[in-house]
């Protein structure tokens, strides 16, 4: 009998790498998911130049299909003999060099995946979106839920809104689920997250206004849990779920937690300072960001600063209720594992 096939886009990206690890070795924090499905075959679409060896080091039997998600032929090769497969569509770009890349990858790439999944007779597509289609909360105490109207934040949010619309349209011919995770953190992190730790260590972490704006955070293994639950839940078909830690955190809490762990648990000296900026700094950055994006350009630091005084927070109650989602790892333990991963990998903080 043919072993069940699982397709993954977006590996070896941050979440994709972590998901391959969980698929191959299980999710230790969740007893029901602690043991992997030994019969599962894993096949990943790996972009040209991406370090695919990191995936084979995790799971020696993983199949790697080289190709760009913007290329329908390459995506078609991923879906060879994929009838009945689960598809975890994680591929996306957050910080592009040019704005057009957001639409080419997040929108047209998704169109290619859905077309190939339909043609191959795949069973279910679980697609990862973002908090950004909803934009920013209207009040500091507000939490987004699945009934919130779309109000996309700049071009990234619009590209993800369009991506979600494609998935909804495809639900007439495929089983689909959309997940909206928030700010990622956790092992296998990219350089930009390690740079955040370094800024905290050096006393340069930006705190805009009073630092009390709240952010929902998504520990990567909690997100992987939601992906596996969305794969198997009959109730999830055609639905959208917010996915994050159980409660949002203020910027002060986030920075204070990382600083405390660096110093007390990992003996890394910290400066005990913050780069304190007035609330208007985010507003000015937002104006500059919009002007740049209007001419097709993107500057990561400006974009990130533009969000620093805003609350972006959600409720995960629906995912808890309908999927059985149980985000057991919270900020302190998740950041502890992140720092430990950096040190074990020889990544300087």
pLDDT digits (tens, 9 = 90+) for 300-324: 999 999 999 999 999 999 999 999 9
The reply to whether 240 falls in a domain is: yes
Structure tokens at 66: 């080289």
* Per-residue pLDDT reduced to its tens digit, 149-203: 999 999 999 999 999 999 999 999 999 999 999 999 999 999 999 999 999 999 9
The reply to whether 280 falls in a domain is: no
Residues 6+ apart with CB under 8 A from 54: 12, 17
What pLDDT does residue 347 have?
94
Mean pLDDT for 112-119 is 98
* Domains: count for the chain: 1
The reply to whether 107 falls in a domain is: yes
Cα–Cα distance between 41 and 102 in angstroms, integer? 30
- CATH at residue 324: 3.40.50.720
The reply to whether 337 falls in a domain is: no
Give me the DSSP letters along 59-75.
Answer: -TT-EEEE--TT-HHHH
* Per-residue pLDDT reduced to its tens digit, 47-98: 999 999 999 999 999 999 999 999 999 999 999 999 999 999 999 999 999 9
The reply to whether 203 falls in a domain is: no
Residue 1 has pLDDT above 60, yes or no: no
Under DSSP, the state recorded for 133 is: G
Give me the DSSP letters along 43-107.
Answer: EEEE-TTS-THHHHHH-TT-EEEE--TT-HHHHHHHTTT-TT-EEEE----SS-SBTHHIIIIII
| pTM value > 0.85 | yes
Mean pLDDT for 251-264 is 98
Q: Which domain holds residue 174?
A: 5-186+217-248+312-329
The reply to whether 348 falls in a domain is: no
The reply to whether 270 falls in a domain is: no
């Amino acid at each position: 009998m043919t072993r069940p096939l699982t397709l993954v886009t977006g590996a070896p990206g941050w979440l994709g790498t972590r998901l391959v690890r969980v698929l191959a070795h299980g999710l230790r924090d969740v007893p029901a998911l602690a043991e992997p499905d030994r019969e599962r075959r894993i096949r990943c679409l790996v972009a040209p130049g991406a370090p695919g060896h990191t995936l084979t080091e995790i799971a020696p039997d993983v199949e790697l299909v080289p190709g760009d998600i913007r290329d329908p032929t390459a995506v078609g090769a991923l879906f060879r003999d994929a009838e009945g497969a689960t598809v975890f569509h994680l591929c996306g770009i957050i910080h592009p060099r040019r704005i057009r890349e957001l639409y080419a990858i997040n929108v047209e790439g998704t169109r290619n995946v859905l077309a190939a999944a339909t043609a191959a007779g795949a069973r279910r597509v679980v697609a990862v979106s973002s908090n950004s289609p909803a934009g920013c909360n209207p009040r500091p105490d507000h939490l987004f839920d699945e009934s919130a109207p779309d109000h996309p934040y700049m071009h990234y949010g619009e590209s993800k809104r369009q991506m979600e619309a494609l998935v909804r349209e495809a639900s007439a011919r495929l089983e689909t689920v959309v997940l909206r995770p928030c700010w990622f953190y956790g092992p296998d992190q990219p350089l930009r997250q390690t740079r955040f730790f370094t800024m905290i260590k050096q006393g340069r972490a930006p705190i805009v206004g009073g630092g009390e704006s709240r952010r929902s955070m998504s520990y990567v293994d909690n997100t992987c849990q939601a992906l596996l639950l969305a794969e198997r839940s009959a109730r999830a078909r055609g639905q959208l779920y917010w996915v994050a830690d159980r409660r949002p955190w203020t910027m002060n809490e986030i920075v204070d937690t990382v600083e405390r762990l660096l110093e007390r648990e990992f003996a890394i000296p910290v400066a005990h300072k913050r780069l304190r900026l007035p609330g208007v700094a985010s507003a000015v950055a937002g104006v500059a960001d919009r002007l740049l994006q209007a001419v097709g350009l993107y500057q990561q630091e400006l974009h990130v600063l533009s969000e620093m005084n805003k609350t972006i927070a959600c409720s995960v109650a629906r995912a808890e209720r309908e999927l059985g989602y149980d985000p057991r790892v919270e900020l302190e333990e998740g950041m502890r594992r992140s720092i430990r991963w950096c040190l074990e990998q020889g990544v300087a903080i």
